[in-house]
Chain A
Amino acid sequence: MTEIQNYTLNFGPQHPAAHGVLRLVLEMDGEVIQNADPHVGLLHRGTEKLAESKPFNQSIGYMDRLDYVSMMCNEHGYVLAIERLLGIEVPIRAQYIRVMFDEITRILNHLMWLGAHGLDIGAMTMFLYCFREREDLMDCYEAVSGTRMHATYYRPGGVYRDLPDEIPRYEPNRWRSKKEIARLNRNRTGSFLDFIEDFTVRFPGRVDEYETLLTDNRIWKQRTVNIGVVSPERAMQLGFTGPMLRGSGVEWDLRKKQPYETYADVDFDIPVGVNGDCYDRYLVRIEEMRQSNHIIKQCVDWLREHPGPVIVDDHKYAPPSREQMKGEMESLIHHFKLFTEGYTVPAGEAYAAIEHPKGEFGAYIISDGANKPYRLKIRAPGFAHISSMHEMVVGHMLADVVAVIGTQDIVFGEIDR
């Protein structure tokens, strides 16, 4: 009789459930995982090294490309670290805009996660539902920054420009009937903030729809309950942050515990899980979407009533307006210096962390007083999460690996940097 041996299975790097370019080398005993060794780095672009060769502002665009499903949050971490080094105070309206867009980004990220996670473990419809709502939020990105994904909207000292007055509408065209166009434009007749408010009114109902499909779904629960259980002690040891840590029952959210921008002034709750399995993390993220929606609503109300500057008035850091630049010598010089050389940052070091949709996203900058960072280290939440892959999947079946990859909410842009 031949002896049955363990065998090694190569999962990815081109596997649709690997969420990018993850190569997992799995040692299997039958269908049970004995050892998992993730190979990452296939998307390594050297973002941190590139940043060392560029003036501070030119790297903001690279931040969007780290975690490419929560773009503005990455910018936020980086910009916050620069502001801390420069010691500049951001105008209050810009802070509210940042909070609002951070939460829009959180919903964007969680929708992408929910859709992809569902698709991976057998809930095809979720993907279509989630992308329907993502489209509206992408339009918000486009309206403020001119681009749907890689916004480069946050700048040291504030945001690039104030919110637009209106949201772009669909133009009449020969492929869609007048009625259809009118339906698409129905919530686009008012201002930009009206559009977002309309979204916040609609969105809780949409989350209910997702929950009807999944929360009590027998198959969904079979695939997620008691899969990838992590105790709170292990979660801290493994460097988990964000929903991964909260799913294990640790009440830790930087927005509450170490508030930045105006998070101290808005009202929201932190959901926590109990069992630390994939299902609890799913529930945590679903509730986070509802809380984010609540925060967005408060920001919209505040922003409506408080016009004001959105970027610091110090032209050593923020460029003067086009009009000023054309009319005043001093502004012209500032503009020229900013765009050819950038600003120099006092020597020192700063670590700024924000509650990114995936966990704690931090930017650690060492400056030696030059116009470029001496060293930039990006602390990506996904990197710590995926390093626990072995511990989370050992003893599970092959199909559960996909559920664990999904629950870790992995995006390779930030892991590989």
Chain B
Amino acid sequence: MKPRYEALAQRISARFGDRLSAVDSTCGELTYELDKADLLDVALRLRDDEDFRFEMLVDVCGVDYLTYGKAEWQTEEATSTGFSRGAVPENIVPDDDATFEPRRFAVVYHLLSISGNYRLRLRVFTGPDNPPVVPSVVEIWSVANWFERETFDLFGILFDGHPDLRRILTDYGFIGHPFRKDFPLVGNVEVRYDPERSRVIYQPVSIEPRTLVPRVIRDDNRYSDDLKDESA
């Protein structure tokens, strides 16, 4: 990590203590996780305090950690039939339960300080509530308005205090939140023109999802400390 960022990390830990917990990032970028109750207070201080001055919110995005670390090819034998190269799609049932796994949904904020020329990443987990809710930062950075609308649209995360939380990218009247991991890549409905009713209609998708390249996770000795190649 660059010394400039180390100094920033020290200032942050001095200012916020254990309210922000640093995440080990592989790429020298500062990342912190915080509780969603602290978000507004921390964000406001990060923007206004002389030590930080993060004038800009560069990006807000949602993440669904439902299938994190799961590979499709954990099998010992190969199949000889069908598409999808032996990857059997795991049947993910959309959970209609009242609660989620608390670390399933996260909202990630990328901050940029123009006067100090550094970046910072904040991650807030939504907790077990269904639907997931996070406080809105629109009052702090105006640009958050559309970014939060997008996150709501794609992940179904609600932003408490957002002035106008409408869908933004998907179709008018769309059902579901397409970037959740339990939403199929091919979608649930397709549209076509129906000559009999002489209008465009929605119907269940007629194509089957298939895997062209299975998702694999290799225990690569170049990345693992205890498996490191002696000669490397």
Interface residues of A in 351-404 (CB under 8 A from B): 351, 353, 360, 362, 364, 366, 368-372, 374-375, 377, 379, 383-384, 387-388
Q: Across the interface, do A239 and B57 meet the contact criterion of CB distance under 8 Å?
A: yes
Known: A349-B31, A351-B119, A372-B215. A364 touches B142 (CB 8 A): no
Partner of B216, one of A41, A344, A379: A344
Q: Mark A10-49, 1 if CB is under 8 A from B, else 0.
A: 0000000000000000000000000000001100101011
Q: Is A268 an interface residue (CB 8 A)?
A: no
Give the contact stretch, choosing among A50-58, A150-158, A300-308.
Answer: A50-58
Q: Across the interface, do B169 and A351 meet the contact criterion of CB distance under 8 Å?
A: no
Q: Is B48 an interface residue (CB 8 A)?
A: no
Q: Is A236 an interface residue (CB 8 A)?
A: yes
Partner of A351, one of B110, B214, B223: B110
Q: Is A342 an interface residue (CB 8 A)?
A: yes
Complex CA–CA separation, A257 to B26 (angstroms): 22
Partner of A350, one of B27, B61, B222: B27
Q: Across the interface, do B27 and A341 meet the contact criterion of CB distance under 8 Å?
A: no
Complex CA–CA separation, A296 to B146 (angstroms): 36
Which of chain B's residues have a CB closer than 8 A to the CB of A55?
213
Most interface-central of B31, B108, B142 (chain A CB within 10 A): B142
Q: Across the interface, do B108 and A348 meet the contact criterion of CB distance under 8 Å?
A: no
Interface residues of B in 109-131 (CB under 8 A from A): 110, 114, 117, 119, 121
Which of chain A's residues have a CB closer than 8 A to the CB of B223?
346-347, 369
Q: Mark B41-72, 1 if CB is under 8 A from A, else 0.
A: 00000000000000111110101100011010
Q: Across the interface, do A346 and B26 meet the contact criterion of CB distance under 8 Å?
A: yes
Beta-carbon nearest neighbor of B224 in chain A: A346
Q: How many residues of A contact B (CB 8 A)?
A: 55
Q: Is B220 an interface residue (CB 8 A)?
A: yes
Q: Across the interface, do A236 and B213 meet the contact criterion of CB distance under 8 Å?
A: no
Beta-carbon nearest neighbor of A58 in chain B: B213
Which of chain B's residues have a CB closer than 8 A to the CB of A362?
58-59, 110
Q: Mark A203-238, 1 if CB is under 8 A from B, else 0.
A: 000000000000000000000000000000010111
Which of chain A's residues have a CB closer than 8 A to the CB of B178?
46, 49
Q: Across the interface, do B63 and A48 meet the contact criterion of CB distance under 8 Å?
A: no
Complex CA–CA separation, A229 to B170 (angstroms): 31
Which of chain A's residues have a CB closer than 8 A to the CB of B133?
none
Complex CA–CA separation, A351 to B112 (angstroms): 12
| A13 → B minimal CB distance (Å) | 12
| B5 → A minimal CB distance (Å) | 12
14 contacts between A and B (CB under 8 A): A44-B169, A237-B55, A237-B141, A252-B114, A341-B214, A344-B217, A344-B220, A360-B58, A362-B58, A368-B68, A372-B213, A375-B64, A384-B143, A417-B169
Binding site for A on B (CB under 8 A): 25-27, 29, 31, 55-59, 61, 63-64, 68-69, 71, 108, 110, 114, 117, 119, 121, 141-143, 145-147, 150, 167-171, 178-179, 185, 211-218, 220, 222-223
Binding site for B on A (CB under 8 A): 40-41, 44, 46, 48-50, 53-55, 58, 84-85, 87, 234, 236-239, 241, 250, 252, 257-258, 316, 340-342, 344, 346-351, 353, 360, 362, 364, 366, 368-372, 374-375, 377, 379, 383-384, 387-388, 416-417
Apart from A239-B141, A239-B142, A351-B110, what are 7 other A-B pairs with CB-CB below 8 Å?
Answer: A87-B27, A316-B222, A344-B218, A349-B121, A368-B68, A370-B217, A387-B145
